[in-house]
Structure 1
């Protein structure tokens, strides 16, 4: 799926209509979740029938497009399914029991309830009874290159700096780019807090620390917001909401800066290498360390991995996650284990006298692990088998010959 996002600037009455649609979608989701809690064992069909009953019972639910109500039910189903899967897999810790939504920020339509302007496709009109009406799409991406039947979902999202309309288009991202020329290069990368990444070729990328740099300003905005908050007062004053909006916009800017940085680094790595190896880190467990949690979150390792895997799939490259065990301790030259603390930044091997930067040594080990994994992989689909044992060479050749003979 390809997602196109456009900024919209609704009028005050349209803002009220959008907020009403978001609250209605949240209401349907929470009511369906309560129905599931009170009637354990009900399935998908019963939940959708209950959604129909809600539309007949409440007029404001009926005003929302029926497909938008169905997507609210689907969100509940995804949360329930994820909870059951975590229980079956015996996931350690909390299993993710579904929770009620208090502050939803989006409403999602399917193939009805909206209509694009046929001439320019720069305007969208929402046709349900909530009264959102016509909105102008502001953005550089042109949606007129896609057929209307390719648009499977339309979502209105509220953020700190305004409202956005997203289009989910049924399209393989690999069809939107030209195949890259193979670079015949492979690289291993080690993420860290001193350097954002250090690769096996000796290159490093400094951590930008966007949150650390903006922390002083963020704390000031948060104090101003707290000073205007009056406990027990409902609703809060306009000055409080203005301060809250300023703080939220600053947080949004920091998160966007971080995501654009990791996206740029991930794209550069994929375009310049055919194979990229990285550590399969348990970031969720690492942030439990209160001394390093802020720095790890500010680095954006999880977001970086997501974009790395996305670009690898888009451009037809290999992105391989390897176990992180002893990548910093083992010597990349001789393989011996050299114990070192986190503060020791230089790798000095007492067995082979190899000396290099700690992160560079780890990146080489990561690349070696990835190549080992690739070397042991057997590929049967093409009719060939990778033989990594001497005794399997004849068997592999025999399998290949047999497959070729049967296909002729």
Structure 2
């Protein structure tokens, strides 16, 4: 499976609010399934699917969410439960008992609840929340793959800088790598990002350390705007909270991008990792 991501643009405040309601409803369904599993014995996946139908009949806002999205929320709950059973059988030190979600940031649709335009420039969500049509911002290669390959699921993710649509494609990605016959061992540590079997070391980029000054400044501004006992907080507080989230999001993306590129260089050819680190640091 391959996941491609596109940003959702040109939406109104009401449309983004509808996406938030869909995300909260998906969280509600998952937590209800988890509570039912805690309160009853012998609960399996089929029982949770049946509970999903009962929730749709009992709560009007749950009925608004597409049936495939409700089933995906049930699968999320059962995934946490099955992993707990597996770790118990393996007698792991940490069992990982399933927990309720407090701040869910995504809702997942299967084959229904959404419709992609013929040119791949926009996507429309067709459930009863009436989120409507959003423009898709991505590069041409990703747009071509989205149009030509089979889409298994569409996931809407809320981040600090906006909303994104993740397309889960039914394809296996393969890299054409020539086998050189040379083997190398990597040891990931704390002082260095990794050390190979030949003694070469790659230093940690320390993106978080570089962003500490800005993070402290934004955090201080957020603390000044907080009012104890005030519910809800002011608009200035929530705007500053989003600014702080964007700084954390940038650090997260820097870490991921650097690690993925470095790993790909090591896989393609040994020695490419050292050259990539030098180019990244401007040496």
TM-based fold match above 0.5: yes
Partners of 1:143 and 1:152 lie apart in 2 by: 16
1:148, distance to aligned residue in structure 2 (A) = 6.8
Aligned counterpart in structure 2 of residue 268 of structure 1, from 245, 265, 271 = 265
Question: In the alignment, is residue 184 of structure 1 matched against residue 185 of structure 2?
Answer: no
Q: Give deviations 1:7-32, integer Å, cap 9, x for gaps.
A: 11222111111001001111111111
Aligned counterpart in structure 2 of residue 241 of structure 1, from 238, 242, 246 = 238
What residue is the counterpart of 1:72 in the other structure? Answer: 73
What residue is the counterpart of 1:287 in the other structure? Answer: none
Map 1:382-401 → 2, pairs under 5 A: none
What residue is the counterpart of 1:121 in the other structure? Answer: 120
Question: In the alignment, is residue 231 of structure 1 matched against residue 228 of structure 2?
Answer: yes
Q: Give deviations 1:298-351, integer Å, cap 9, x for gaps.
A: xxxxxxxxxxxxxxxxxxxxxxxxxxxxxxxxxxxxxxxxxxxxxxxxxxxxxx
Question: In the alignment, is residue 43 of structure 1 matched against residue 44 of structure 2?
Answer: yes
Q: Indicate the RMSD between aligned Cα atoms, in angstroms.
A: 1.8
Question: In the alignment, is residue 138 of structure 1 matched against residue 137 of structure 2?
Answer: yes
Aligned counterpart in structure 1 of residue 214 of structure 2, from 214, 217, 241 = 217
Partners of 1:245 and 1:115 lie apart in 2 by: 30
What residue is the counterpart of 2:89 in the other structure? Answer: 88
**Does the aligned pair in 2 maintain the 1:188–1:199 contact within 8 Å?**
yes
Partners of 2:64 and 2:149 lie apart in 1 by: 25
Partners of 1:150 and 1:211 lie apart in 2 by: 38
**Does the aligned pair in 2 maintain the 1:190–1:198 contact within 8 Å?**
yes
1:232, distance to aligned residue in structure 2 (A) = 1.7
Partners of 2:145 and 2:203 lie apart in 1 by: 39
1:149, distance to aligned residue in structure 2 (A) = 7.2
**Does the aligned pair in 2 maintain the 1:6–1:138 contact within 8 Å?**
yes
Partners of 1:211 and 1:146 lie apart in 2 by: 34
Partners of 2:186 and 2:39 lie apart in 1 by: 49
* Greater radius of gyration (CA): 1
How many aligned residue pairs are there? 270
**Does the aligned pair in 2 maintain the 1:185–1:272 contact within 8 Å?**
no
Cα distance change on mapping 1:194 and 1:36 into 2, 3 Å: closer
Name structure 1 gaps, 5 residues minimum.
274-408
- Secondary structure of the equivalent of 1:230? coil
Map 1:4-83 → 2, pairs under 5 A: 4-9=4-9, 10-83=11-84
Question: In the alignment, is residue 205 of structure 1 matched against residue 205 of structure 2?
Answer: no
- Secondary structure of the equivalent of 1:259? helix
Q: Give deviations 1:174-206, integer Å, cap 9, x for gaps.
A: 2xx4x2222222112222333322223343222
What residue is the counterpart of 2:192 in the other structure? Answer: 195
1:256, distance to aligned residue in structure 2 (A) = 0.8
Map 1:254-265 → 2, pairs under 5 A: 254-265=251-262
TM-score normalised per structure 1: 0.63
- Answer 1 or 2: higher relative contact order, Cα 8 Å, separation at least 6: 2
